[in-house]
Amino acid sequence: MGEAPAFVVDDLKGNFTNGFHLKSKGYETSIDFGCNKTYVIGATENESKPTFGVRIFNKSTDEWVIPNVLGTKPEPSIGHSAIILDEERILVIKGNTSSDDSFWFLEVNTAFVREQKTRLGTEVVAWSKGVIGEAEKPIVISGPSGVGKGTLISKLMEEFPSTFGFSVSHTTRAPRNNEQNGVHYHYTERSVMEKDIEDGKFLEFAAVHGNLYGTSVEAVDVVADKGKRCVLDIDVQGARSVRASSLEAIFIFICPPSFEELEKRLRARGTETEEQIQKRLRNAKAELEQGKSPGLFDHILVNDNLETCYEKLKKLLGLTDGVKNTPKTVFHVPLEHTVSRIDQKILINCGVEEQEKSATNMFVLDFTSIKGGAPARTRGLRFYAVEPSINGTIGTQIPS
């Protein structure tokens, strides 16, 4: 039998079960998945600070497997429950958190996980944070070097600092004089970046003008966690990879008014050697061709006059009539709660004590319309309070 990491399955068997093959023991939760696997999710006992580790007990071989865990994992919490959603994922609900951080999907057999299992040749699971409602789609901006992508993005950030956040990429190229690590890029050694790519930490990556560039899953998550809409400045290869990923985004291609003007801007910027300029111009020809690929970009903007182009960018992002900030209703999910399932909805009962503090102790998590998934967020969850009903069905929705 494989060595049991930190806890043993027999131990878990004697513990609390909530009717969903779920047993809890301190910070750990175990959940039976399919006929022969038990997933143990939670803290390991030998760590002073709990983390969301994942271990799998294979009942047919009587062995423990430690999977490769991809995606951004949830911050540890002192209690959580778990429930099987479908043949592909387990929903983990963190207790004692606000509802915008409570719902996490542990993907165990989604297309992304299956692909990663084949790539890595190991057992793989992937975390994806559940987002309530339709978070605004990230914006991918591509175009040849020197066309003005960075200039347009800077204008957007300056005018709407609380609406947009920049996805800080990793690169192996050296910083320019005015560039700061962690602000313009995360400047990285090639070997480190290659290892991180191997470990599945990148949403996309590409070799661009002789260096490696990439968007980490974390770079996008950090922006989303601040409640902002993420803007990615990436090359066409990167845009293609994001298009093929689970991250639903708006894709915008920026064109120069002419090739001569592009060259003039690149030279006037004064950041590249002659050799690098020549390389970037050669690549620009190919990028301008690829920008026209059917179905890749949703919008093409010509950056002739900067102000005119910026106004067009704002218009297509729906920013000309002022930014509408729809207030989000956030509930508290207490430590003690029970979960039950009715069709595509999870009923969360927070107990009598919670009802004394607020109007209700019952919430519904509706996952009928979820989209996306690892390595990015799972969007489209609906979460609302309901009046408790006497017969166990879902009661009336409480208006927020």
Ligand X SMILES: Nc1ncnc2c1ncn2[C@@H]1O[C@H](COP(=O)(O)OP(=O)(O)OP(=O)(O)O)[C@@H](O)[C@H]1O
Ligand Y SMILES: Nc1nc2c(ncn2[C@@H]2O[C@H](COP(=O)(O)O)[C@@H](O)[C@H]2O)c(=O)[nH]1
Q: Does 303 bind ligand Y (CB under 6 A)?
A: no
Q: d(Cα 288, Cα 32) in Å, to the nearest integer? A: 51
CB 230 within 8 A of CB 248: no
Residue closest to 156 by CA, chosen among 166, 169, 170: 166
Q: Which is nearer to ligand X, 169 or 246 (CB)?
A: 169
> Is 149 an interacting residue with respect to ligand X (CB under 6 A)?
yes
| Rounded (5°) CA angle 63-65-69 | 165
Applying CB under 6 A, which part among 63-71, 82-90, 144-152, 159-167 lies near ligand X?
144-152
Report the residue from 15, 58, 96, 151 that binds ligand X according to the rule CB under 6 A. 151
Site residues for ligand Y, 218-257, by CB under 6 A, read 233-235, 237-238
100: its two tokens = 């915008």
Secondary structure (3-state) at 169: strand
Contact set for ligand Y, span 94-153 (CB under 6 A) = 145, 149
Looking at the Cβ atoms of 208 and 386, the one nearer to ligand Y is 208
User: Is there binding between residue 150 and ligand X (CB under 6 A)?
Assistant: yes
Please indicate whether residue 280 is annotated as part of the active site: yes
Residue placing its CB nearer to ligand X in the complex, 66 or 306:
306
Residue 256 contact partner, candidates ligand Y, ligand X, none, CB within 5 to 8 A by sort of partner: none
The answer to whether the beta carbons of residues 238 and 141 sit under 8 Å apart is no
Is 214 among the residues that bind ligand Y (CB under 6 A)?
yes
In the sheet that holds 229-233, the strands lie side by side as: 164-166, 229-233, 139-142, 250-255, 299-302
CA-nearest of 42, 97, 24 to 335 is 97
Distances (CA, A) of 39 to 70, 86, 111, 162, 356: 15, 14, 19, 39, 35
Residue 238: contacted member of ligand Y, ligand X, none (CB under 5 to 8 Å, by partner type): ligand Y
Question: Could you say which residues in the range 262-281 bind ligand X, by CB under 6 A?
Answer: 265, 268-269
Among 53, 71, 95, 146, the residue binding ligand X under the rule CB under 6 A is 146
267 is an active site residue: no
Residue 147 found at the interface with ligand X (CB under 6 A): yes
User: Residues 6 or more apart from 373 whose CB is under 8 A from it?
Assistant: 89, 105, 107, 110, 112, 128, 246
Q: Is 314 in the site for ligand X (CB under 6 A)?
A: no
Closest to 310 in 3D by CA, of 252, 363, 365: 252
Is position 380 an interface residue for ligand Y (rule: CB under 6 A)? no
How many of the other CB atoms lie within 10 Å of CB of 205? 23
- Give start and end residues of each alpha helix (H) in the chain: 9-13, 111-120, 149-159, 190-198, 217-225, 236-244, 259-269, 274-290, 306-316, 351-357
Nearest approach, Cβ of residue 204 and ligand Y (Å): 6
265 is catalytic: no
Q: Which is nearer to ligand Y, 149 or 337 (CB)?
A: 149
Residues that bind ligand X (CB under 6 A): 143, 145-151, 265, 268-269, 303, 305-306
Q: Which residues are catalytic?
A: 176, 269, 280
Residues that bind ligand Y (CB under 6 A): 145, 149, 169, 173, 204, 206, 208-209, 213-215, 233-235, 237-238
